[in-house]
Chains A and B, each alone.
Chain A
Amino acid sequence: MSQAAPAATSHSSASANDRLHALEAELRSLSARSLEHSTQLEAMASVLQNAGQKDQLSMVVFSGSLDRLIAAFVLATGAAAMGMKVAMFFTFWGTSALRRPARVKKSPLERMFGWMLPRGARKLPLSQMNMAGGGPAMIRHIMKKKGVASVEEMIELSKELGVEINVCSMSMDLLGLKPEELIDYPAMTYCGAAKFLETAAPGKITLFL
């Protein structure tokens, strides 16, 4: 900072010149540092801006009941229509909603699970008032009458709107589900906890259904 003036002080003009040079050098280094700081600040600002700011809806669909899946897909299609990125993560009983009737080779235990789990969105039970399948039939009838889109229709719509569907591979292994018995869905991937956490972390809305 305070650079010592040259030893020879007899010529005041020479000394003034030196001081001028020293000041110039100092100014240059200061301006370089301030530039460096401003780029650092800009980088920090962009990090802060992106934290929890991504216009994205992430959903864990854990439940395999019709009512919860209606809620999940109403929000998914609604968010996609709002221009948000939507990422759904299907796990445990939720995976049943993505099944389609298909014959696949399985072990006896897997076959038993496969037989007990609903084969697709059309076969889902209600979480309440299921009444041995009478409840869902009634709800479906009312939905049709009231103009509420069915889960199957909303899955088709989700495809069109670019809703991303991820399926937990661990759940599939546990329940003995094979990729061949899941519906055709363009943006469907198999993933684990890390993929969900990484995807959901910067998003604004995350739901567990």
Chain B
Amino acid sequence: MPTIDARGKSCPMPIVLAAKALKEMAPGQTLTVVADDRAFPEDIRAWCRKTRHELVSLDSKERFFEAVVRKP
């Protein structure tokens, strides 16, 4: 599964990188986004709602967050 590692990058980079990666992907494909920005959980939720992507999962790991997003 394609993965974007946005650890060490702050707002709005995790969202921007995820958006860019998903744009190149085919409908139905999923992307994993890893980020440690504190705003990431709220931002990725908002981004998915706004752009109608499916947030398959959002996990809080020890030092970072991991989201799986599916392109509609």
Contacts and interface: CB of A to CB of B under 8 A. Distances in A.
Interface string A77-108: 11011110000000000000000000000000
A82 B51 contact: yes
A81 B9 CA distance: 15
A74 interface: yes
B16 A77 contact: yes
Q: Residue among B13, B18, B46 with the most chain A CB within 10 A?
A: B13
Interface residues of A, number: 15
B10 interface: yes
A157 B9 CA distance: 14
B12 A78 contact: yes
Nearest to B15: A81
A64 B65 CA distance: 35
A77 B12 CA distance: 7
Interface of B: 8-13, 15-16, 18-20, 37, 46-47, 50-51
Interface of A: 74-75, 77-78, 80-83, 146-149, 157, 160-161
